[in-house]
Structure 1
């Protein structure tokens, strides 16, 4: 598997570390608190066969500029930054694809800048705060795995972790969000590694408590594809169904044998659906 190409993109809002791979129509991918590197990202890798993918480190992640004010770590600021990266890259429009918290950023992108988007791909995400409002969510205090998930998140924030320990904890955390956790080594078999931006994660943990843009979803005026695993424990499928009902030009595909990672758990079906959308 080839490495991603690193570049720094200068914009009026700051300088951003961006990794590119593939050829074809541009697709932008990011995540709220992931720190990407040349090994790439499992979700972003899904699109590289037929498209040129721009994998963006947001402010405070990787070698992108640090935030000068706390609000620059917000989801709406992420959207404003992505718009400047699009312009600096010379595109009149592109597709945005987001998984989980990346999808939440994507929803805001669609609400405020639909004219900049050829299409919007939202995977395993929600248009509102999901933890307290659904007992099916692993971030809900009533969920059986809530306590262990919280422990793992806090442990992964520790800068003192060895590489092996971080890998072990990351594996356990991901297994909590797989329908068949015993298949972890099969799903995550590529040489892809990333870290978590603690500052961005801490900001998100507060911001998501008041996140609710459901009443604005009618403002999304671009072709929107919503994909979700039937058994998603992070952003339960009910939230994807809700978005599909409220976004005007939306289609929904539910993966019956997937949890939070349908692009790995049902890889061939996921790629088939994506290809039918993008061609």
Structure 2
């Protein structure tokens, strides 16, 4: 594994040596017995900013790393494929607790035990929230994009799907149920479900490029076992512990987020003392990278001012 995918993603996001005067470093690092694909950019003494990808069972860090690589300088941006995802090794267990343990080991071994800024979206946001309630004193700041504090968001996602079903004519409620349960039968079934649901994530359903969706779906690694294991213990719920998070926190999401509806971000922001909430108009689940970077940069400049 060369890590070239992260560099390709950076170029696709317009991130070059001309815009970011740091060279991205790609490596494979053994963390708690699993070899994890990792990318880093920025000075070794920069504030550690760990970015977590979404996509339970199929995500990679390439996109989120490329989005926030321009923060390199004051920050050392670190992204990695969680175990069982992307180019990282399939080493069980695949649980929220293990993902949190992996982040803590990265903080201790690669960040010198320093406090970190932790950023995650969607599934990555759920892992970030779980880390935050377990290790609140390890955080300088917490940034959450389009996520939820419990599994109860699934009811809102189903309602959104029913309201927008015409966008994804191949998708069914049965497929969505499989997406939220440990019942996907194979990697290929997983791939087909995500291909059918892909139009639900589009920012503008009128400009869907099905050829691009097909190419992306064909290239993505889907791991049904990892997905199923992460849904096997359907008890994720940190709502009652959010008040223990005391670091500066930004919560933002698209106003049209279908799978983690805005009421979930409002709930998080209401329960975390002093949290900042931003609802991005005309945005779906993903929030365009340039928009996300703008909001995150402003938040960090305001809440973590330079000495």
TM-score (norm 1): 0.78
1:77 Cα deviation from its structure 2 partner: 1.4
1:158 Cα deviation from its structure 2 partner: 1.1
The answer for unaligned runs of 5 or more in structure 1 is: none
Deviations 1:148-181 (A, max 9, x none): 78279669931997xxxx8xx8665332122412
What is the RMSD computed on CA atoms of the aligned residues? 3.4
Mapped pair 1:7 → 2:27? yes
* Equivalent in 4, 10, 18 of residue 38 of structure 2: 18
* d(CA) in 2 for partners of 1:234, 1:206: 19
* Equivalent in 67, 76, 86 of residue 107 of structure 2: 86
* d(CA) in 2 for partners of 1:95, 1:183: 35
Would the alpha carbon gap of residues 111 and 13 (structure 1) be closer, same or farther in structure 2, given more than 3 Å must change?
farther
* d(CA) in 1 for partners of 2:197, 2:157: 20
Per the alignment, residue 263 of structure 1 pairs with 288
Q: Give 3-state SS (helix, strand or coil) of 1:73's partner.
A: coil
Would the alpha carbon gap of residues 175 and 149 (structure 1) be closer, same or farther in structure 2, given more than 3 Å must change?
farther
Name the structure, 1 or 2, with higher relative contact order (CA <8 Å, separation 6+).
Answer: 1
1:25 Cα deviation from its structure 2 partner: 3.3
Does structure 1 retain, via aligned residues, the 8 Å contact 2:156–2:261?
A: no
* d(CA) in 1 for partners of 2:267, 2:109: 34
Does structure 2 retain, via aligned residues, the 8 Å contact 1:224–1:249?
A: yes
1:58 Cα deviation from its structure 2 partner: 1.8
Mapped pair 1:196 → 2:238? no
1:110 Cα deviation from its structure 2 partner: 0.9
1:47 Cα deviation from its structure 2 partner: 0.8
* d(CA) in 2 for partners of 1:93, 1:50: 17
The answer for unaligned runs of 5 or more in structure 2 is: 1-10, 17-22, 302-307
* d(CA) in 2 for partners of 1:228, 1:155: 31
* Equivalent in 37, 45, 68 of residue 47 of structure 1: 68
Does structure 1 retain, via aligned residues, the 8 Å contact 2:190–2:224?
A: no
* Equivalent in 166, 173, 182 of residue 206 of structure 2: 182
Mapped pair 1:60 → 2:84? yes
Quick check: which has more Rg, 1 or 2? 2
**How many residues align structurally?**
258
Does structure 2 retain, via aligned residues, the 8 Å contact 1:119–1:222?
A: yes
After TM superposition, list the pairs within 5 Å mapping 1:80-229 onto structure 2.
Answer: 80-91=101-112, 92-129=114-151, 130-132=153-155, 135-138=158-161, 144=165, 147=172, 150=175, 157-158=187-188, 173-184=197-208, 194-207=220-233, 209-229=234-254
Would the alpha carbon gap of residues 261 and 65 (structure 1) be closer, same or farther in structure 2, given more than 3 Å must change?
closer
After TM superposition, list the pairs within 5 Å mapping 1:67-78 onto structure 2.
Answer: 67-68=91-92, 72-78=93-99
Would the alpha carbon gap of residues 184 and 95 (structure 1) be closer, same or farther in structure 2, given more than 3 Å must change?
farther
After TM superposition, list the pairs within 5 Å mapping 1:228-267 onto structure 2.
Answer: 228-264=253-289, 267=290
